[in-house]
Structure 1
Amino acid sequence: MGNKLTRRRFSVAVGGAIAAGLAVPSLWYRAEDNQGQSLAGSSLSAQRDQALIALQQRLTEHLKNVVRERDSQQAPEGYSAVRAYITQQFSRFGSVEVHQFKHRDRLHENLILNLPGQQDGDFILVGAHYDAVPGSPGADDNGSAIAVLLELARAFSMEPARSPLRLVAFDAEEADRGGSRAYAQNIKSRNEPLAFMVSLEMIGYRDTRRGSQKYPPGLSYFYPDRGDFIAVIGNLRGLPTVWQIVRSMRRFVPCEWLPVPNGGHLIPDTRRSDHASFWDESYNALMITDTANLRNPNYHTANDRLETLDLAFLASVCAGLTAGLLQL
């Protein structure tokens, strides 16, 4: 890519709007990799670092509004406040749809924002659950993912991805994936053109100490023992998309990946989020995760607080995912 073209596209993307800049991070790396483009590469790298700092600040603001007890039965005020915040943020970028469903004799709501792509065609669904277990403020589980979901709405409302995007905040994941299960069945019954589903599940905790990362039986021989990476877990049929996301994310953060057959039933830990609801309906789907309690000791406890998160890590995950989704 020519130096002049790179500068022009970059300035359009980031001029006055850092979020739009996050829609083109792959350009920054191409500029840095070009031989004889050291000055341009240095400038683009500095702009990228500035963008990541601004992104981290926005993610922090989202987390301040989301991290609180929010079980629908035991903390209804927190639950309603978080749902209202997501609705308000989504509504900045388009019309918010509500998918109501009944689960365990109670009415729940999935919140949906559709964003157009550069091309018409099948859509990519990115989802994150907004509920939390009773007694936990749910910073990593799953405030970290909701914060990223809201930033994806901001970025792709300003710089469309190649494919149409559907962003969904799922309810009742902690109740046997109630929200995603109902939604996956709904779009299957309507024969909606879903190309791929991406589930964001606990993506803000990092631990660089040796021995901090655990695994299901048999996997520790193949992966690092430090919990300093983000993991991508996808079904075998979706392998090309999984690999595309992994390659993009590795430009920003260490990333390990695991392809699984048979809907993940051979390794039950790979089914522990909303992507499994889509596997069960024969869709291609992946989960992006910091591996939950295999790394984070605060999982499902009152200690899952904002101050335990690595916000620089979270921002890098968000930037890498934005770069990957741009090209799908």
Structure 2
Amino acid sequence: MDLKTRLQTYLTAIARERDPYMATAGHFFVQEYIRQQFAQWGSVEIHTFEAGGKTCQNLILNLPAEAKRQKRNLPPILIGAHYDGVPGTVAADDNATGVAVLLELASKFAAQPAKYPLRLVAFDMEEYGLLGSADYAALLREQQQPLRLMLSLEMLGYKDSTPGSQSYPPPLEKFYPNTGDFIALIGNLRTIPDLFSMSRSIRQAGISSQWLPVPNRGLIVRQTRLSDHAPFWDAGYPAIMVTDTAFMRNPHYHKPSDAIATLDLDFLAGVCAGLEIAIRRL
């Protein structure tokens, strides 16, 4: 199977109603699907946390660094994507695309390790206020666990090549293109060298990419905090959100129409291939 077909297979399994309260069967199905996929590559750690009287789960897969670097005790790169969805939608872009790429990266880096150890995390309860990532970031902070970088994969599959299809919080529209055909990387100031190199790697894979460094944990432009990287910013970690910019481009955001048919799978496959190259070069 080629990359696009593999991603489509993942999407078909994940894109279903999976709100943790309103669609418990779908939510459980997707949780189990991720667990089974991860389990092919190593033992799956489950990080449980309580939210709204419910026990929730982040699913974690640790992958070692390449053999010659294993003794160095390098800090891991954490790659996360949330698997919950809002009620009333199969949430294909938000965030079946992020989870599909997470699973594909797991299989790629299990077969051929990166320079750094990787920790792949499927976060729960993002749509209820980043609860899964907040709980996990707090735990890592408490354990004094260093991270080389945290990457949040947040909506990766919607592209619109029509001029005027991309909007921004002001004043960013003065500096960035108004066509929604790129993938955006948004990081705190510590990640500027990574933003630059990752963007370049993604462009080399044939996908247009824009990057934005934000000061002060993104508090000035609140829209930059709308994913699982934000709790890692707050905990002082270097973190980047990889995104198609959600509602600033995708008209189906949080609607029943957020379906696989609205996605651009060639774009998604390009983003996935570009991310693999970018992570290998870190």
TM, length-normalised to structure 1: 0.83
Aligned-partner residue type, residue 259 of structure 1: P
Q: Which residue does 1:295 correspond to in 2?
A: 249
Give the AA of the match of 2:274. G
Mapping 1:14-163, distance limit 5 Å: 54-118=2-66, 119-120=69-70, 121-163=74-116
Shift of 1:112: 0.2
**Deviation of 1:247 (Å):** 1.2
> In 1, distance between residues paired with 2:203 and 2:259?
27
Q: Deviations over 1:192-224 (max 9, x none)?
A: 121210000001000000110000011111111
Aligned residue runs from structure 1 range 208-287, under 5 A: 208-252=161-205, 253-287=207-241
Farther off after superposition, 121-130 or 101-110: 101-110
Q: Partners in 1 of 2:112 and 2:54 — Cα distance?
A: 38
Runs of 4+ in 1 over 3 A off after TM superposition: none
Secondary structure, aligned partner of 1:326: helix
Residue of structure 2 equivalent to 1:168: 121
- Which has the larger displacement, 101-110 or 312-321? 101-110
User: Helix, strand or coil for the counterpart of 1:217?
Assistant: coil
How far, CA to CA, are the matches of 1:215 and 1:270 in structure 2?
Answer: 10
Deviation at 1:239, TM superposition (A): 1.1
> Match of 2:156, as an amino acid?
I
Indicate the residue corresponding to 1:26 in structure 2.
Answer: none
Distance (Å, rounded) in 2 between the aligned partners of 1:320 and 1:85: 25
Question: Secondary structure at the residue paired with 2:105?
Answer: helix
Unaligned runs of 5+ in 1: 1-52
Partners in 1 of 2:91 and 2:137 — Cα distance? 24
Query: Which residue of structure 2 aligns with residue 7 of structure 1?
Result: none
Alignment of 1:300-315 (within 5 A): 300-315=254-269
Kindly tell me the number of residue pairs found equivalent between the two proteins.
Answer: 276
Q: Mark the structure with the bigger radius of gyration.
A: 1
Q: Report Cα offsets for 1:38-61 as digits up to 9, x if no partner.
A: xxxxxxxxxxxxxxx810000000
Alignment partners' CA distance in 1, 2:235 and 2:51 = 18
- Post-superposition offset of 1:191: 1.2
| Cα separation, 2, equivalents of 1:219 and 1:93 | 41
Match in the other structure for 1:205: 158
Q: How many percent identity over aligned positions?
A: 52
Q: Deviations over 1:154-181 (max 9, x none)?
A: 1000110000000000000001000000
CA RMSD across the alignment: 0.8
Q: Quick one: which amino acid aligns to residue 64 of structure 2?
A: P
Distance in structure 1 (CA, Å) of the matches to 2:197 and 2:204: 12
2:106 counterpart SS class: helix
Further displaced range: 122-131 or 53-62 = 53-62
